[in-house]
Amino acid sequence: MNLGRCEHIPSTSLVAVQTRPLRARYEKKFNRRAAYRYVRHAKPDQDGVTRWKCPFCAGLLRSRQLPATMRNSRTAPLVELPEWVTECCRGILSAPPAELPLTQKIPYGTTAWRISMYRRQAVESVNAALQGNFANIARGFVRVFGVVKITMLVGFTIAAFNVDRVRSFRAKLAELAARPKTRAKRRQGTFADCMPEELDDVADRTEGPPG
């Protein structure tokens, strides 16, 4: 299957981008590329074989050369295919079980992927706090036996940590409210203001995001 020309697709080597505008710019390109992915048609069978359908059949893309795909959502990207293309695919594709670990539910580098990964950062912060910063839940932390007793004591510890986080959040809000309001000074004549188009062209020509 030939999807035609798909320009401005970044490399998969996404690393930490320092500034929010650059990160949003690269996420936009990854979100655009996510529409070209294959979608699972059915769950694995008894042998572990999965079936997949192309992005046109899945409703992720549209093309005027394929009239049936124009019924898809208007938010789907409109792709221009070569004149000799008359069909998007030849049916459902089957993938062996060996390729199943290479797939993931959320496409890498997209906004949904970043939001999902940020949840892991919150969990890791809690684990770090319960292993040294707030308390050290390790061997010997509780001096009782039995799963029920240990679970009760650890539950009280986690509840105390939640109360500490709520107090810290309220104290931060009170500190911000007590600060005098000052008008932010806007710097004019910076490099980004003088050459915005040149910066966009440089960012588009890079293979991977800076970081």
pLDDT in tens, the chain (211 residues): 444 444 444 544 444 555 777 888 888 889 888 888 888 888 888 888 888 998 888 888 998 888 888 888 888 888 888 888 888 887 888 888 888 888 888 888 888 888 888 888 888 888 888 888 888 887 778 888 888 888 888 888 889 989 988 998 899 999 888 888 777 666 665 555 555 555 555 455 545 444 4
Instruction: Identify any residues that bridge with 7 across adjacent strands, giving them in sequence order.
Output: none
Nearest to 95 by CA among 60, 55, 53: 53
Instruction: Classify residue 157 by its DSSP letter.
Output: H
How many degrees, rounded to 5, is the angle at CA 102 between CA 96 and CA 106? 120
CA dihedral 89, 91, 96, 98 (to 10 degrees): 30
At 51, which helix (H) or strand (E)?
A: strand 50-53
d(CA 39, CA 165): 41
Task: Provide the pLDDT for residue 135.
Answer: 83
CA distance 164 to 97: 47
pLDDT at 2: 44
Show the tokens assigned to 199: 């910066």
Residue type present at position 164: D
Q: How far apart (Å, rounded) are the C-alpha atoms in residues 183 and 120? A: 36
At 187 the pLDDT is 63
Please compute Rg for the chain using Cα positions.
25
Query: Is residue 106 within 8 Å of residue 116, measured between CB atoms?
Result: yes
Handedness of CA 144, 145, 146, 150 (dihedral sign): positive
Partners of 40 in the β-ladder: 52
Report the run of H or E that residue 50 belongs to, with start and end. Answer: strand 50-53
52: which residues sit within 8 A by CB, 6+ positions away? 38, 39, 40, 41, 92, 93, 94, 95
